[in-house]
Chain A
Amino acid sequence: GAGVSQTPSNKVTEKGKYVELRCDPISGHTALYWYRQSLGQGPEFLIYFQGTGAADDSGLPNDRFFAVRPEGSVSTLKIQRTERGDSAVYLCASRQTSYGTGELFFGEGSRLTVL
């Protein structure tokens, strides 16, 4: 596609529920990143994929968070047993390659609200 697409744009859920957030990167981009942005803060790194594999998941806050990218394109961020503190905008970004440091192209984010 023309840009990074994220769905849903808004998600409201109740504490304890399971949530999936989807990211469709720019076609041909091999590197995909998930970030979380809380109100008034900069984006915080969660996980990055090179192809199908998670190359660095050091930013995932705990084991309730998990992400997959089974075919090396679309990625899904999964949050189990959601907590109110998980409320944030989840940003996805892609880059043509993980090597070098070209710019990241960001989607508009998925705003998650946990009641």
Chain B
Amino acid sequence: AQKVTQAQTEISVVEKEDVTLDCVYETRDTTYYLFWYKQPPSGELVFLIRRNSFDEQNEISGRYSWNFQKSTSSFNFTITASQVVDSAVYFCALSEAGQAGTALIFGKGTTLSVSS
């Protein structure tokens, strides 16, 4: 069965601190996709990244970086030099690619609060 665990319920940091959001997943499939979404107070889920199970290269996009480690079934997300605008709920999600249209399974989210 698929499962996504985000053990950190809430994280509070001060601006300019680096912060890492953890994500651990479970799946029996060898082919799957992992996602991170951001949900600001407005409520709309904003796509951040998609990573397939065959690509373990870490990715960096501006202040955001992602560390995918198959050996530990983790897909962690790091924000460097955090800003107040980064305050949001962040969700990690998993999709098994074996069947067309498979829905994303989300973790419970991590609420990040960045204070100035």
Contacts and interface: CB of A to CB of B under 8 A. Distances in A.
Q: Do A and B come from one complex?
A: yes
Contact of B91 (A42, A105, A107, A109): A42
Contact of A42 (B44, B46, B101, B108): B108
B45 A91 contact: yes
Interface residues of B, number: 27
Nearest to A109: B43
Contacts of A48: 101, 103
B43 A108 contact: yes
Contact of A41 (B45, B46, B108): B108
Interface string A64-107: 00000000000000000000000001010100001111111111
Contacts of B4: 42
B104 A104 contact: yes
A43 interface: yes
Interface of A: 31, 33, 40-45, 48, 50, 55-56, 59, 89, 91, 93, 98-109
